[in-house]
Amino acid sequence: MAVAAGLVGSFALMRRMSLAADAMSHVALPGIGIALILHVSPLAGGLTMLLIGALLIFLIERRTRIATETVVGVLFSVALAVGSLLASGEDLIEALLGGAGSLSAAEAGAGIAAAAAVIAFVLRARHSLIVSLVSPEIALTSGIRVARLDLYFLLAFALTVGLGLRYLGVLLMGSLIIIPAAVARRLARNLNGMLAGSVAVAVLSTGAGTYAATLAGRQSGPFIVMIAGGLFVLSLLRRAPD
Amino acid sequence: MDNVLEVEGLTVRLGTSDVIRDLSFSMPRASSLAVLGPNGAGKTVLLRTLIGALPPSSGTIRWAPGTRFGYLPQKLDIERNLPISGWDLLLAKAALTSAVDSDVSRALSDVSLPEDVLAQPVGTLAGGQFQRLLIAFALLGHPTVLLLDEPAAGIDAPGQTQLAELVRRLQTAAGVSVVLVSHDLSVVYRYADRVLCLGRTQACFGPPDVALTPETLDAIYGTPVAFHRHDESLH
């Protein structure tokens, strides 16, 4: 999950989707609320809503040519309003900040498969992704199907957010996607440096945060994000590449 | 299809106004077409429509089957701290077009770009270096058509001559067709077989000698254009 977050986050940041990443995770909230009412897996509910959200963002963006951040911003506010009505009390806190409970075997298996799919997609599509972020028109003339690539990236992004919902919750998962990429961006001079750095920070934060949370007997989400945030502060000490 | 490109009755509407209206022209294979006109005449819009980035409101654009594009956009805003190096970009294009190492080396020598420049993040390159990088990028993958939007922008004088020679060589040796947007009338006269004028009042099309009369230029730009045509033999 951390590797997928590091890779997707790198491209999300370079595509200027950093705010969208944070807002996007909130789109899961109504899905979690509906799943709780129907007594089905909240993870499945959140993930379904995220994928629907990604499709909506893609369609609205293409039809109206409004920037991704604006569309996500509107969708996020509405989702948060609907979600807060549907979920309440303990459930809401768990959805927002992640739960402490352990994953079922089915959930863990599905999570690993989804993470592997996201990682394979990003590594395979990395050439197309960097060309299209430099110029969608150059990408078009290089034989890249830009619209399809944008849709796949949004879906991979939604899937990555979904992966962390149970662990970090709606409020914090966006941070695990963006902060490691932000650290790597300050230090890297090329794509491989960016991807490797982002994955390293995401894995380190997740591992150390989970360990610290276990010692403290608290939820892991806040620890993971605090460690990632600490690494970002450390990265500020180093001058950005010229 | 003897022509590499056939455009008929092309109209492109942006917002509420027609930027291009009822435009028709064709391009034989291995020819070069210069697109000329004042700012806002729709030159870049035409190029973007030709590559499929903008939908035509009406009319047809037909490229010869098997056409491969090399496109150089007019201006790109790249963030200075974007962690993508010149190598990342070139190797991405090489991977996408199955180009081999020797193709990359050749493209770099064609545009005289030293390899050490490629290690730098693209946002930190000087304007001319970045332009050369994008031209090398466009050359990878053996394009059959080059679409160059102000290719000489930011490139020093010797570089501009070298670029014009490169375009001419690709056209004659490799049979590449070239669509070129340029404000430089001397470049148009020296390197274009045909010229297409997009203007405020009328569009012209034909060989530069025939199409570009002082009267036509005045009509396109809406103001008298002073231009002394250099004698080719002096160069």
CATH, residue B215: 3.40.50.300
Residue B206, domain member (yes or no): yes
pLDDT of residue B214: 75
In the structure, what pLDDT confidence band is assigned to residue B38 with cuts at 50, 70 and 90? confident
Determine which of A143-147, A169-173, A220-224 has the lowest per-residue pLDDT on average.
A169-173
- In the predicted structure, residue B232 carries a pLDDT above the cut 50: no
Domains, chain A, with CATH or none: 2-237 (1.10.3470.10)
DSSP state of A169: H
**8 Å CB contact of B84 and A126:** no
B199 touches chain A (CB under 8 A): no
Residues of B in contact with A142 (CB under 8 A): 69, 93, 96-97, 141
CA B135 – CA B143 distance, rounded (Å): 12
Nearest-Cα distance to chain B for A191, in Å, is 5
pLDDT of residue A56: 83
Report the domain count for chain B: 1
pLDDT of residue B147: 93
- Of A91-95, A101-105, B113-117, which one has max mean pLDDT? B113-117
Nearest-Cα distance to chain B for A136, in Å, is 8
Q: What is the DSSP string of A172-201?
A: HHHHHHHHHHHHHHHH-SSHHHHHHHHHHH
In the structure, what pLDDT confidence band is assigned to residue B48 with cuts at 50, 70 and 90? very high
Residues of A in contact with B93 (CB under 8 A): 127, 131, 142
CA A215 – CA A41 distance, rounded (Å): 28
**8 Å CB contact of B84 and A130:** yes
pLDDT of residue B201: 59
Q: Residue A53 contacts by C-beta under 8 Å, 6 or more apart in sequence? A: A24, A27, A28, A75, A79, A158
CA B150 – CA B132 distance, rounded (Å): 12
- In the predicted structure, residue A87 carries a pLDDT above the cut 80: no
pLDDT of residue B179: 93
pLDDT of residue A101: 58
B56-79 pLDDT, tens digit each? 999 999 999 989 999 999 878 788
**8 Å CB contact of B84 and A190:** yes
- In the predicted structure, residue B227 carries a pLDDT above the cut 60: no
Q: What is the largest CA-CA distance in chain A?
A: 54
Strand duo B17-28 + B194-197: pairing = unpaired
In the structure, what pLDDT confidence band is assigned to residue B235 with cuts at 50, 70 and 90? very low
Q: What is the mean pLDDT of chain A?
A: 84
- Mean pLDDT in residue range B110-127: 87
B172-224 pLDDT, tens digit each? 888 899 999 887 777 777 778 888 988 765 568 888 777 777 777 777 776 66
- ipTM of the prediction greater than 0.90, yes or no: no
Q: Are B89 and A134 in contact (CB under 8 A)?
A: yes
- Mean pLDDT in residue range B124-142: 88
In the structure, what pLDDT confidence band is assigned to residue A202 with cuts at 50, 70 and 90? very high
Task: Write down the pTM of the prediction.
Answer: 0.84
A140 touches chain B (CB under 8 A): yes
Q: What is the DSSP string of A36-88?
A: HHHTS-HHHHHHHHHHHHHHHHHHHHHHH---HHHHHHHHHHHHHHHHHHH--
- In the predicted structure, residue A218 carries a pLDDT above the cut 70: yes
Q: Are B18 and B12 in contact (CB under 8 A)?
A: yes
Percent of chain B, pLDDT > 90? 28
Percent of chain A, pLDDT > 70? 89
A199 touches chain B (CB under 8 A): no
A111-125 pLDDT, tens digit each? 889 899 999 999 999
B134 touches chain A (CB under 8 A): yes
B48 touches chain A (CB under 8 A): yes
Residue B177, domain member (yes or no): no
Residue B118, domain member (yes or no): no
Q: Map residue A123 onto helix, strand or coil.
A: helix
In what side-by-side order are the strands of the sheet with B177-181?
Answer: B69-72, B145-149, B177-181, B32-36, B194-197, B204-206
Residue B30, domain member (yes or no): yes
Residue B63, domain member (yes or no): yes
Q: Structural domain of residue B201, as residue ranges?
A: 1-67+144-156+182-229
B14 touches chain A (CB under 8 A): no
Residue B235, domain member (yes or no): no
Determine which of A12-26, A179-193, B19-33 has the lowest per-residue pLDDT on average.
A12-26
- Mean pLDDT in residue range A151-180: 85
**8 Å CB contact of B137 and A136:** no
**8 Å CB contact of A137 and B48:** yes
**8 Å CB contact of A241 and B95:** no
* Distance from the first to the final alpha carbon of chain B: 36
CA A60 – CA A70 distance, rounded (Å): 10
CA A16 – CA A29 distance, rounded (Å): 24
Choose among B68, B73, B84: nearest Cβ to A191. Answer: B84
Residue A84's CB is within 10 A of a number of other CB atoms, namely: 15
**8 Å CB contact of B92 and A240:** no
- Mean pLDDT in residue range B96-125: 88
- Of A16-25, A119-128, B105-114, B132-141, which one has max mean pLDDT? A119-128
Select the more confidently predicted residue: A178 or A239. A178
Residue B15, domain member (yes or no): yes
**8 Å CB contact of B92 and A190:** no
Residue B55, domain member (yes or no): yes
Select the more confidently predicted residue: A19 or B20. B20
- Mean pLDDT in residue range A165-174: 77
